[in-house]
């Protein structure tokens, strides 16, 4: 580090040099202060500006120089921070940034030593006047403007902290006070560990301290703790300061709060992860939905003849159907999680949903826990997404199971209540009016107040590592608030837990359950699907529904059947993604001869994977997995109104 005076260059810090000064006319620093940023000299011995410099001619033999100027607040150049070498150097981007940061640190350090009535002086500013007397600096004309320099440092946006070599704080600027929550009076005289967060291990702090006490700057990210206990992240540089004898006297710390930046980066990373998850789920969905379609459809077809089957077989078929529907729901939930799908609420009877999942919940939580219901009859409908609410029930059931490792009881009860305006449930304000409630009560271990207060926080869990994500209850809370409701919990250690869900009552009738297959229509249908189990299932459902059915495995086979004219088809049911030729291409070729031929496409792919924009008005789309009634309803609607789309 060197200062430029009227006739000479004076070294303020000269590690490795015996010279105290050199003539200004051949000084590197004199040229560096004329630049705005890095100034470099690669061959000083042959450079006419510097070849006569004592630094070049004497035993020192400098050949390379790189320096960055530092300035007073009014823009007056004071000197430069530089490095010198005996041979040519190529500076990396990191080295350039380091020299620049050193120059900025020197600017801060100078401000800390320019006047006497200083760190503990009577200045009324929040951080005090940080100038300190130094006769050698006061001899410079710019030294008379030291108070202006101090004010600039005090008001800079970056935090500045100065300590002695023991780490005792001597000065903090306003930005440091605002960022930490401590006043200057509270900070000065205390150790810099006042804001230590404990987020870094002992080795981290040891490395930091050994670096700066050896005279080297330390740069990195530091997590500190504010006065109110909250954490913040700083991009920090701590620079050692030496006197004219080369002795360490102080450390200057400059920092920029990057908490928000890191938060945004974390959000971006999460968004990228969710996008990757969505793509993965979409890629797996097609084959998985094909399997689910066969399982669900086969179970429902078998249940159509339930009167001819033993009761235990009917029970097993019902469980197969319920499990496959739950698997399909979870698949849709995974896809929605990856792409943030908008929910599709419908007016539903909460009692019917609880009853339909009661047996599955019993299987899920095990035989050691008794499941019972207490359902109030004739409840008004609630507007919910059935798939999402199934997730709510299953999450609460699993949570109760984990709270009762030795067994117990679980009760699901529904009620109709009237809430006054401004009612608070789970920290969420609900509007005045009637609500349908579902209370899930267990006899488990319960929660203390500290755990209860954080029960709905994302990623909070009291389970052992690997046993839970901490997302179950937070997902429940998010779903209910999205539906205009909320959830509250009453609990105490050893007293179990009572979760009460509130959903706004609706003055509209609930949607009726899906009808059985029955007879839907007449006509000849061509089924095209390369998956043998799926094709066989669709054909069986359609025959059961009263249709005459032919089938083809490939698009080419289907085109041959249609254009041959040997059979006339009233509609086509085709997979949208056939091997060799898509269903859309196949349909285009068929419609060249039969332009009004209605086509029902089935697909297991998400809309982000397949392009449905080229569907004609006489086409419809049905997504897998589907139930037999879903298929028959879609086909009936297609054949009744061939000019409509879905």
SS3 590: helix
pLDDT exceeds cutoff 50 at 418: yes
Residue pLDDT, tens place only, 611-620: 555 566 668 8
Q: Which of 202-206, 214-218, 395-399 has the lowest mean pLDDT?
A: 395-399
- Residue spans of the domains in the chain: they are 268-321+330-336+516-646, 350-506
The whole-angstrom separation of Cα 28 and Cα 54 is: 11
> What does DSSP assign to residue 568?
-
Q: How confident is the model at residue 438 (pLDDT cuts 50, 70, 90)?
A: very high
pLDDT exceeds cutoff 80 at 6: no
- Regarding predicted confidence, which is higher, 112 or 76? 76
- Regarding predicted confidence, which is higher, 385 or 275? 385
> Do 268-321+330-336+516-646 and 350-506 show the same overall fold?
no
- Regarding predicted confidence, which is higher, 484 or 615? 484
Q: For residue 57, what are the contacts with CB-CB under 8 A and spacing of at least 6?
A: 51
The whole-angstrom separation of Cα 1 and Cα 11 is: 6
pLDDT exceeds cutoff 90 at 441: yes
- Regarding predicted confidence, which is higher, 197 or 345? 197
Q: For residue 474, what are the contacts with CB-CB under 8 A and spacing of at least 6?
A: 456, 457, 458, 459, 460
CATH topology of domain 350-506: Heat Shock Protein 90 (3.30.565)
pLDDT for the residue numbered 335? 53
Q: Which of 35-44, 387-396, 493-502 has the lowest mean pLDDT?
A: 387-396
DSSP labels, 289-347: HHHHHHHHHHHHHHHTTGGGS-HHHHHHHHHHHHHHHHHHHHHHHHHHHHHTPPP--EE
In SS3 terms, 343-406 reads as: CCCEEECHHHHHHHHHHHHHHHHCCCEEEEEEECCCCCEEEECHHHHHHHHHHHHHHHHHHCCC
Q: Which of 61-75, 297-311, 329-343 has the lowest mean pLDDT?
A: 329-343
CA 167 to chain CA centroid, Å, is: 37
pLDDT exceeds cutoff 70 at 495: yes
Q: Which of 13-22, 231-240, 405-414 has the lowest mean pLDDT?
A: 13-22
pLDDT exceeds cutoff 80 at 461: no
pLDDT exceeds cutoff 60 at 27: yes
Nearest partner of 169 among 184, 155, 153, 159, judged by Cα: 184
Q: How confident is the model at residue 287 (pLDDT cuts 50, 70, 90)?
A: low
Compute the CA torsion angle 531, 533, 537, 540 (nearest 10 deg): 100
pLDDT exceeds cutoff 80 at 152: no
pLDDT for the residue numbered 268? 67
Nearest partner of 502 among 436, 414, 571, 420, judged by Cα: 436
pLDDT for the residue numbered 209? 94
pLDDT exceeds cutoff 50 at 85: yes
User: Domain 268-321+330-336+516-646's class?
Assistant: alpha beta
Q: Average per-residue pLDDT in the chain?
A: 77
pLDDT for the residue numbered 111? 66
Q: What percent of the chain has pLDDT over 90?
A: 21
Strands (E), 443-517: 486-491, 497-506
Evaluate whether 107 touches 74 at the Cβ level (below 8 Å): no
- Regarding predicted confidence, which is higher, 100 or 337? 100
pLDDT exceeds cutoff 80 at 75: no
CA distances from 513 to 231, 391, 414, 625, 646 (A): 52, 19, 20, 18, 21
pLDDT for the residue numbered 14? 52
The whole-angstrom separation of Cα 568 and Cα 550 is: 11
Reported as type and span, the H/E element at residue 563 is helix 555-564
Q: How confident is the model at residue 191 (pLDDT cuts 50, 70, 90)?
A: very high
Mean pLDDT for 89-102 is 79
- Regarding predicted confidence, which is higher, 459 or 76? 76
Backbone angles phi, psi at 400, to 5 degrees: -65, -40
> What does DSSP assign to residue 454?
T
- Regarding predicted confidence, which is higher, 125 or 425? 425
pLDDT for the residue numbered 462? 56
The whole-angstrom separation of Cα 202 and Cα 193 is: 13
pLDDT for the residue numbered 50? 86
pLDDT for the residue numbered 465? 42
Mean pLDDT for 389-402 is 82
Q: Which of 263-272, 346-355, 473-482, 514-523 has the lowest mean pLDDT?
A: 514-523
- Regarding predicted confidence, which is higher, 460 or 264? 264
Evaluate whether 3 touches 12 at the Cβ level (below 8 Å): yes
pLDDT for the residue numbered 501? 92
SS3 458: coil
In SS3 terms, 234-264 reads as: EEEEEEEEECCCCCEEEEEEEEEECHHHHHH
Q: What is the CA radius of gyration of the chain?
A: 38
- Regarding predicted confidence, which is higher, 547 or 567? 547
Strands (E), 420-515: 423-425, 428-430, 433-442, 486-491, 497-506
Tell me the torsion sign for CA atoms 241, 134, 67, 36. Answer: positive
Q: Which of 44-53, 235-244, 280-289, 543-552 has the lowest mean pLDDT?
A: 280-289
Q: How confident is the model at residue 255 (pLDDT cuts 50, 70, 90)?
A: very high
């Amino acid at each position: 580090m060197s200062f430029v005076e009227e006739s000479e260059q004076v070294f303020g810090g000269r590690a490795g040099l015996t010279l105290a000064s050199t003539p200004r006319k051949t000084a590197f620093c004199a040229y560096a202060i004329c630049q705005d940023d890095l100034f470099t000299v690669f061959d000083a011995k042959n450079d006419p500006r510097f070849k006569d410099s004592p630094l070049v001619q004497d035993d020192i033999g400098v050949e390379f120089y790189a320096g960055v100027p530092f300035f007073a607040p009014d823009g007056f150049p004071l000197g430069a921070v530089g490095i010198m070498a005996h041979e040519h150097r190529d500076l990396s981007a990191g080295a350039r940034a380091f020299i620049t940061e050193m120059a900025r640190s020197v600017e801060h350090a100078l401000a800390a030593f320019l006047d006497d009535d200083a760190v503990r002086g009577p200045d009324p500013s929040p951080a005090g006047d940080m100038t300190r007397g130094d006769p050698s600096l006061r001899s410079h004309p710019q030294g008379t403007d030291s108070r202006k320099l101090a004010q600039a440092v005090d008001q800079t946006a970056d935090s500045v902290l100065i300590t002695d070599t023991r780490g005792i704080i001597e000065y903090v600027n306003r930005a440091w006070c605002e960022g930490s929550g401590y006043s200057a009076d509270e900070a000065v005289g205390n150790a810099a560990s006042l804001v230590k967060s404990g987020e870094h291990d002992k080795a981290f702090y040891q490395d930091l301290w050994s670096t700066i006490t050896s005279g080297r700057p330390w740069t990195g990210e530091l997590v500190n703790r504010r006065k109110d206990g909250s954490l913040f992240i700083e991009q920090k540089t701590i620079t050692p300061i030496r006197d004219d004898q080369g002795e360490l006297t102080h450390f200057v710390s400059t920092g920029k709060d990057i908490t928000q930046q890191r938060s945004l980066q974390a959000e971006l990373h999460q968004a990228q992860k969710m996008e990757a998850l969505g793509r993965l789920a979409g890629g797996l969905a097609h084959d998985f939905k094909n399997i689910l379609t066969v399982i669900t459809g086969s179970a429902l077809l078998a249940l159509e003849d339930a009167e001819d089957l033993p009761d235990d077989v009917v029970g097993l078929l019902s469980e197969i159907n319920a499990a496959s529907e739950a698997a399909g729901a979870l698949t849709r939930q995974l896809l929605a999680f990856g792409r943030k799908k908008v929910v599709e609420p419908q007016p539903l009877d909460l009692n019917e949903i609880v009853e339909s999942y009661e047996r599955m919940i019993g299987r899920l939580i095990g035989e050691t826990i008794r499941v019972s219901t207490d359902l109030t009859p004739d409840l008004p409908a609630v507007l919910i997404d059935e798939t999402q609410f199934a997730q709510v029930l299953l999450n609460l059931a699993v949570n109760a199971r984990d709270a009762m490792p030795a067994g117990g009881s679980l009760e699901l009860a529904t009620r109709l209540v009237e809430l006054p305006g401004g009612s608070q449930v789970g920290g969420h304000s609900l509007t005045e009016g009637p609500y349908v409630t579902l209370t899930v009560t267990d006899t488990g271990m319960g929660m203390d107040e500290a755990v209860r207060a954080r029960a709905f926080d994302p990623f909070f869990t009291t389970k052992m590592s690997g046993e839970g994500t901490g997302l179950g209850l937070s997902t429940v809370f998010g779903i209910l608030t999205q539906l205009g409701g909320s959830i509250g919990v009453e609990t105490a250690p050893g007293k179990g837990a009572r979760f009460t869900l509130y959903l706004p009552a609706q003055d509209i009738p609930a949607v009726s359950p899906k009808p059985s297959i029955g007879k839907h229509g007449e006509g000849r249908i061509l089924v095209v699907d390369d998956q043998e189990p799926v094709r066989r299932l669709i054909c069986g459902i359609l025959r059961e529904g009263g249709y005459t059915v032919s089938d083809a495995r490939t698009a080419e086979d289907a085109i041959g059947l249609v254009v041959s004219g040997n059979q006339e088809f009233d509609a086509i049911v085709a997979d949208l993604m056939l091997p060799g030729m898509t269903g859309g291409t196949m349909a285009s070729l068929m419609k060249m001869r039969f332009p009004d031929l209605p086509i029902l496409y089935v697909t297991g792919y998400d809309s982000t994977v397949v392009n449905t924009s080229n569907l004609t008005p006489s086409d419809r789309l049905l997504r897998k997995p589907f139930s037999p009634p879903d298929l028959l309803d879609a086909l009936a609607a297609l054949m009744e109104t061939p000019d409509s789309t879905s």
